[in-house]
Structure 1
């Protein structure tokens, strides 16, 4: 029986591991900033639409 070694990876050197970890950390921080910005935009738009709806309902109720 032959052993499939196509999926084996070479062990990372400590320098490569540090570089990989630093890259992952930077990417994670960027993803969190993007997520927070998207959440803020979503809730700001939600509040704007709510205010418009309430104003429209109030105008309709008056006349």
Structure 2
């Protein structure tokens, strides 16, 4: 029986492999930067809300 080899991928050349790896590295670095920025924004917002809550609680305790 003859095998159908049409589904197999062609092997990458070393240049193609380097280009693929470089693109993946750039995408991973961008994803990490995006994640870190989202974390900074989350923590800044959490601290802002905490300060507002403490201010409301202090005003309620006085009033």
Quote the residue 1:5 is aligned against.
5
1:11 and 1:61, CA in 2 relative to 1: closer, same or farther beyond 3 A?
Answer: same
Moved over 2 A (4+): 1-7
User: Which runs of 5 or more residues in structure 2 are unaligned?
Assistant: none
CA distance, structure 2, for counterparts of residue 2 and residue 58 of structure 1: 81
TM-score when normalising by structure 1: 0.91
Q: 1:49 to 1:16 in 2, by over 3 A?
A: same
Scaled by the length of structure 2, the TM-score of the pair is 0.91
CA RMSD of aligned residues (A): 1.3
Give unmatched runs, 5+ long, in structure 1: none
Distance 2:43 2:58 in 1: 22
The alignment covers a number of residue pairs equal to: 63
Q: Which residue of 2 aligns with 1:17?
A: 17
